[in-house]
Amino acid sequence: MSTNVIEQAKAAPSVELGLYVHVPFCASTCDFCAFYQIMPTAGDIRRFLEGVAAEAALAEWTGPVSTVFWGGGTPGLLAARDLTRLAKLVSDRTGGTPREWTVELAPASVTEARLAALRDCGVTRISLGVQSFQPRWLEALGRKHTREQVYRAYARIRKAGFANVNLDLTFALPGQTGEEWVADVDAAVALAPEHLSTYCLTFEEDTALWVRLSQGAFRLDPEKEARLYETTWDRLGALGYEQYEISNFARPGFACLHNLNTWRMQEWIGLGPSAASQQGGWRGSNPADLGLWLSELAQGRRMTADRRTLSPALLAADALVFGLRMNRGVDLAAWRLRCPDAPWREMDENLARLAAEGLVEQGGGIARLTRRGRLLADAVGLELI
Ligand SMILES: C[S@@+](CC[C@H](N)C(=O)[O-])C[C@H]1O[C@@H](n2cnc3c(N)ncnc32)[C@H](O)[C@@H]1O
Ligand code: SF4
């Protein structure tokens, strides 16, 4: 019997421990990206690996790690031997084999040697940053790969034996037509990945695209964004990809467990500069700077940026904001039990108001966004916090 993606989302136990490793290296900076990353020297890579070893020794490994996610940056920029070294640095701490282990790769960095190293380490899932199949839009985003490199990378990933592959796509690029976006969706589906993440382009402060936006080179078009969102949901649904979150779609049984655990406000250890952790009643991030992260570690400190106690109010509000974005919604009854001291009266009033506005629907103790609510998810989230 095949597992339905939404049933898969329901089935997970209540507290799981994830591990996120931020590999802060890229060959160049894309025009839209605000994630912390640098173009590394050999010394940076050596210092990063030493830092991960030091941070892994400081972290509290409270139980077996159920999911691992290496993101970035571009983990695939590390040489095969460094990928193996990185895996060894943490593997004796994770307490057995994780249920899922994802590594993000950029198409230009996918080589047979790197894939073989990842497979031998136990990686189960590859996430490939495609963004677009069209040269014009790859260039507009400042991506350094070509369409041919995407196809070559995908073929190599399959040949290496990976049976769980995600493709990242980006839409609502300034000037992009609906037809061009549908062509990208169709090109991705034609490759038959198990999972698709479709992100609406956001203009992050200080990125090259943000500078062009603030200079008036183009304007935001929320109505067009909404149309493209709906086109994506309908098309991928019709093509057999079940939507389980606003931007995420999967074949049955292939929802990303690591992200599900994060959105369900489980616990995770984050290693590497800028990585966030949530554990033991605390949330915090590492400094988004390789040198600062290392100097904090040298003094025995980690997750010192934005450090805050996970109060019941904060935890329950985040559970609502992230839970509503999932198609299965958020189990309010379970959260009442987990956080009895959260301000539930106020939260119930907010939910009732959003339901009256047609943005949220409730039933059987579950709350979720309506289709219209999904189009206004960021505004709904702001209402709730
Ligand atoms: C941090 S990147 C890592 C993947 C890998 N480095 C790559 O780009 O090939 C993960 C994904 O975030 C998405 N992303 C990053 N910045 C974004 C933005 N400003 N708007 C929309 N999506 C974004 C892209 O789809 C990207 O593939
Ligand atoms: S989108 Fe990926 S490859 Fe581009 S700068 Fe960001 S992390 Fe690096």
Query: Predicted confidence band at 15 (pLDDT cuts at 50, 70, 90)?
Result: confident
Which tokens in the block code for residue 39?
């173009």
Res 8: pLDDT:
47
Q: Is the CB of 199 under 6 A from ligand 2?
A: no
Distance 65 CA to ligand 2 centre (A): 26
The yes-or-no verdict on residue 318 having pLDDT over 50 is yes
Which ligand has its closest atom nearest to the C-alpha of 144? 2
Q: What is the pLDDT of residues 210-260, one digit of tens each?
A: 999 999 999 999 999 999 999 999 999 999 999 999 999 999 999 999 999
CA 345 to CA 25: how far, in whole Å? 45
Distances (CA, A) of 62 to 17, 18, 235, 243: 8, 11, 42, 32
Distance 186 CA to ligand 2 centre (A): 23
Distance 109 CA to ligand 2 centre (A): 12
- DSSP structure class, residue 1: -
State phi, psi for 217 to the nearest 5 degrees: -65, -25
Of 261, 239, 234, 263, the residue nearest 250 (C-alpha): 239
Query: Predicted confidence band at 3 (pLDDT cuts at 50, 70, 90)?
Result: very low
Distance 249 CA to ligand 1 centre (A): 16
Burial degree of 34 (CB within 10 A; 0-12, 13-18, 19+):
middle
Which ligand has its closest atom nearest to the C-alpha of 168? 1
Distances (CA, A) of 173 to 65, 207, 236: 37, 14, 19
Q: Is the CB of 74 under 6 A from ligand 1?
A: yes
Distance 125 CA to ligand 1 centre (A): 17
Query: Predicted confidence band at 7 (pLDDT cuts at 50, 70, 90)?
Result: low
State phi, psi for 162 to the nearest 5 degrees: -80, 125
Which tokens in the block code for residue 253?
């049984």
CA 178 to CA 224: how far, in whole Å? 8
The helix (H) or strand (E) run that includes residue 117 is helix 112-121
The yes-or-no verdict on residue 12 having pLDDT over 80 is no
State phi, psi for 118 to the nearest 5 degrees: -65, -45
Q: Is the CB of 33 under 6 A from ligand 2?
A: yes
pTM of the entire predicted model: 0.94
Of 211, 206, 141, 203, the residue nearest 169 (C-alpha): 141
Stretch 34-53: mean pLDDT: 97
- Choose the most confident range, by mean pLDDT, from 12-16, 27-31, 149-153: 149-153
Res 339: pLDDT:
93
Res 383: pLDDT:
87
Q: In what order do the strands lie in the sheet with 360-363?
A: 330-331, 366-369, 360-363
The counts of H helices and E strands in the chain are 16, 15
Q: Whose CA is nearest to atom 25 of ligand 1?
A: 168
Stretch 323-340: mean pLDDT: 95
Q: Whose CA is nearest to atom 14 of ligand 1?
A: 33
Q: Is the CB of 77 under 6 A from ligand 2?
A: no
Q: Whose CA is nearest to atom 7 of ligand 2?
A: 73
Collapsing DSSP to helix, strand or coil, 89 comes out as helix
Radius of gyration of the chain (CA): 21
Q: Is the CB of 246 under 6 A from ligand 1?
A: no
CA 33 to CA 148: how far, in whole Å? 22
Mean pLDDT score across all residues of the chain:
94
Share of residues in the chain with pLDDT > 90 (%): 94
Q: Is the CB of 72 under 6 A from ligand 1?
A: yes
Res 233: pLDDT:
97
Res 1: pLDDT:
33
Contact 263, 326 (CB under 8 A): yes
State phi, psi for 311 to the nearest 5 degrees: -70, 160
Res 28: pLDDT:
93
Amino acid identity of residue 226, one-letter, is A
Which ligand 1 atom is the nearest neighbour of the CA of 104? 4
Cis peptide upstream of residue 76 (ω within 30 degrees of 0): no
CA 278 to CA 15: how far, in whole Å? 12
Q: What is the pLDDT of residues 148-189, one digit of tens each?
A: 999 999 999 999 999 999 999 999 999 999 999 999 999 999
CA 356 to CA 164: how far, in whole Å? 40
Q: What is the pLDDT of residues 58-101, one digit of tens each?
A: 999 999 999 999 999 999 999 999 999 999 998 889 998 999 99
Of 58, 95, 115, the residue nearest 296 (C-alpha): 58
The yes-or-no verdict on residue 14 having pLDDT over 80 is no
Q: Is the CB of 172 under 6 A from ligand 1?
A: no
Contact 285, 274 (CB under 8 A): yes
